[in-house]
Structure 1
Amino acid sequence: MTSRHANMDPVTTVQQTPAAAGYRRGDAGYRRITAALFAAGMTTFVAMYCAQAVLPSLATEFNVSPAVSALSVSATTGLLALAIIPASALSERFGRTRVMTVSAVASAVIGLVLPWSPSMQVLVVLRALQGVALAGVPATAMAYLAEEVHRKHLGAAMGRYIAGTTIGGLAGRLVASFSLDATTWRWALEIAALVALGFTVVFVRLAPASRYFESQPVGLRTTSRALGEHLRTPALLGLFATAFLLMGGFVSVYNMLGFRLLAAPFNLSEAVAGSVFLMYLSGTVSSAPVGWPIASAARRRCSPRRSSRLRVWR
């Protein structure tokens, strides 16, 4: 075993591409991988957040409170968060594109079925399963890019993936909201599921095979040790807490906003109330351009020795 392999942490280390290798901006491969990851972000977030637009309809249909109807969103996001850790470990063993493909396809299939749930309980269970299925994409996408894209162009490539996630979150909500003006919440979710399926097909067809991925044996002990290392790092704990609080507050506000806008004194239609999700576009516009300055600043602050290995929890 070479020293390069001996020093690799099979769960938390992403082996970067050689300095002179990797897809560069302008390459056909770069266009394919960024388009594929944009589609992956779209399918993930369309599936994840389309239910947010139909929460008032769910509350009415199943005669439940707004808090209970919101479980159709939190069950997906919560289970996805828990499943990201084992999904990232599986990607180390079976490969990035394989895990992302299985994840996206499984989520798309569940999405086609869940609109016909006979009860709120069944809907929440299926949404939880969809969250588990979805985890493979966000758990693996950035590791895949870090391995396959030249490091000078990695920030922009990741920015495009993030742009896909923001547009996906927006599209899922808008597709469902606008569909509600013409049909029921079941068909609104079904239409959103078909949109997610379409982007899944685009991702599967475009994603280039991994060129720099090297399979690593991953076990429960290795995964637990790596997780423990992250949880003992104060800087990472701060990042985890920041993400938890910001996303928790963000999703909660959007969960309840539809109920408020549909009720007096606003009495807006489903489509008009759903237009509030257009505020997502601010993140879409800023994510890709910001990727390059962030990557440049990070490289200037990192020594050559430290930049040779990218340690992330996917």
Structure 2
Amino acid sequence: MPKVCFVPIWYPLEQYATSRLRAKSVVELLRHDPRWEVELDYGEDADIAVIVQLCSDRNLEEINRNRDQVVVYDICDRFFATDSIFRTDEGVLHSQSRCLEIIDRADVLIAPTRQLKAELNARFPAKPCVYLPELVDYGAVPSPASPADSRRLVWFGHTTRGNFESVRWMIDHLVSAHGYQPVLVTTPNTLRRRYPAYADFCTAWSIDAVRSELAAAALCVVSHSPAEPFKSPNRFATAMTQGVPTLASGSPACDEILAAAGYPQFSVGTTLDVDRVLEFLADPARRSLYVADVQREIWQRHAPEVVRRAYVELFERILPDSDNY
């Protein structure tokens, strides 16, 4: 039986979306497939090692030493083009140089959006690159549209990656012009330090907090940093799947879903766009139809069976004789 190990860098796994969605949850999904042995963390005896986002010094040494192992590099950020500094148990990690080191070793690259795949193909033409969708996060399953009565506006995520800076204009407009009450599910100390004017709207992030706030929300907004436009639509997919009408900005992956579902106007770029969408959502029937139609499109792309099949097809291409193990 062929063996695959998924190697995240950030722990605890549940607290980091990339580790949770593209390592832990995928391993749990694939454990139901008797043809593959899967495990979390690096295994030198694995036939395939999936490196998720970045890797430690030790694991870089391992994959460079173990040349018979097929390395799949899961790239979900543009660290190959922009540098960030992270502190790990091993010391300081420069994301750009580490990303390029892993790309150099990798046999195959994978990306969570078609847009990021296209950029990787252009920048690293010698490396095969495959689009692999993410699961819907936070255990969300398709639910009916939430009512508009609460006027609660939810945003969730990190404030350090440009996602909040790029969404502030929407939040400010929805509060000042439409009377929404913002709920920002994130790390309180970081929000207070970086954006003190919004500190009173903060709810401390946890998986349960995101679930409960989405359950009570009338509206959600998501946006991507201009430096990271090709990131996964996972926050949009999560909120919409839980039944919360969601406005997206600066995200080609969200635009793709909205256009395919027939609602390109929900990709907003101006306050006038926002006003028009709210007018549309004021009709309960149209509100429900929007949520149901977009959920259907999301589920066709991100349902567990779709994601499982995508990984299995990739591994079968890498190890064409996998049935003979």
Band the TM-score falls in, shorter-chain normalisation: under 0.3
More helix by share: 1
Q: Taking CA–CA contacts closer than 8 Å with sequence separation of 6 or more, which of the two structures ends up with the larger relative contact order? A: 1
TM-score of the superposition, structure 1-length normalised?
0.28
